[in-house]
Amino acid sequence: TLAEQWKADDMVTGAEAAGPYINFRINRTVLTRSVLQAVHATGSKYGWTNEGAGKRVIVEFSSPNIAKPFHAGHLRSTIIGNFIYKLHKAHGWDAISMNYLGDWGKQYGLLALGFERFGSEEELVADPIKHLFDVYVKVSAAASEEAERIKAMDAEAAAAAGPTIQDQARAYFKSMEDGDESALALWQRFRTLSIEKYKQIYARLGVHFDVYSGESQVGEGMSRAIQMLTDTGLLIEDKGAKLVDLTEHKLDKALVQKSDGTTLYLTRDIGAAIERYEKYNFDKIIYVVSSQQDHHLKQLFKTVELLGLPYADRFEHINYGLVNGMSTRRGTVVFLDDMLHESKEKMHDVMRANEAKYNDVVDPEHIADVLGMSAIVIQDMAARRIKNYTFDWGRILNFEGDTGPYLQYAHARLCSLERKAHVKVNPDADVSLLTEEVTCDIINQISLYPDILAASIKSLEPCTVVQYILKLSHSISSAWETIKVR
């Protein structure tokens, strides 16, 4: 039998058949020593591999639209994308984190007109994301009201009314496309100020982007994409518009150019894909975008495949579900910054409830912020990403149960033990003394971490790591109750 053929070693001392299974006998002392020495030697890189060595991956995530709400959907993309980016780095990939901003289009003509009417230099500098959104809402409302007034006019009066706000917006954006310096200077200022504000928000979440790209950065790739679609016979015309017929693949007809010659998201995405491969020579590119965009990404990937591009099989879409019930004291959350501030304030309230312990906390504002971030991140990553979930402040800010604050508490307690012990970890300690059941359970859990990372790179599911950490924390919590530490 296979069990009889097994050759024992120091770690696995024997094997025996048990029906269709084989049971292995493990030398507990050797296993414990091996695991603890590996952790001590590699530190925070325990479980890392070189599996992706020599390979490059681009992870595109977050990707907010300038002058539009930076909302909970972007938060999910940011958290999940950052996990996938760091996971690839842990497996030796040359990983590039990319933020593809929605920073181009007719709406910027509308925004420029709106800023001229409703803008405030002081408010722009203080909070560009919020102020540009407010301006956009006001000018959009003005354009809608104007359209209703013109609709009620007769043809002669409507013609005499002159260019509408929307007409002026189109003309302004046309001047941007034609390279008008003053128009581009204002747009560039909006973009730069917004990115600086985004960076502040990302820093709170521990997120860094290697590249800030955007629709505006796609150059001749768009015209090349149109030409390639034409040359391959994929492009068809319908009333002056140009589209790709993907009905054979159950993906409908995909519009790539309007009858007035303006391009759409799909065109820019194809152009961006071409330019990215030529610049970065990636082995894989991952788009972290909500499930609402499943159809668009399928159209993009299928079009790239039909173009015969040799890297068409390197595209991957990682989707996720929606967040329900996201609200603050001020009402429905629109901006991510508001949500992060709310999490900090709510956690601060929880901390203040225990006055004695609160008075001992150094820099409670910072601690509340970190705990609030942890609460939001763990709530988001605790279940499979495709699942919708309901946001519940009461549950996620709890120090008990499977929450971010609970994990922070478990970690802080261990750090306190290490700090008060005044003893350095000895990798050569006599581990044969670690015979308690709870101790063995912790060692077993730690030994599984490399396997958890290996499984995660295949599924790209954050919950795999989060559930593992929660289980490990539960094991440690049990040890506190049964093992006396002096």
Write out the catalytic residue numbers: 68, 71, 74
Q: Using an 8 Å Cβ cutoff, are 242 and 233 in contact?
A: no
- Which 3 state secondary structure label does DSSP give 54? coil
The alpha-helical segments, DSSP class H, found in 178-325 are 181-204, 221-231, 265-280, 294-306
| Dist CA 297 CA 285 (whole Å) | 12
| Dist CA 277 CA 47 (whole Å) | 30
Token look-up 């973009």 returns: 191
| Dist CA 36 CA 63 (whole Å) | 41
Which DSSP string corresponds to 254-273?
EEEE-TTS-B-HHHHHHHHH
Instruction: Name the nearest CA neighbour of 72 among 392, 369, 376, 372.
Output: 376
Listed in sequence order, the residues at least 6 apart from 306 whose beta carbon sits closer than 8 Å to its beta carbon are 232, 234, 244
In angstroms, how far is the first alpha carbon of the chain from the final one? 49
Q: Using an 8 Å Cβ cutoff, are 278 and 219 in contact?
A: no
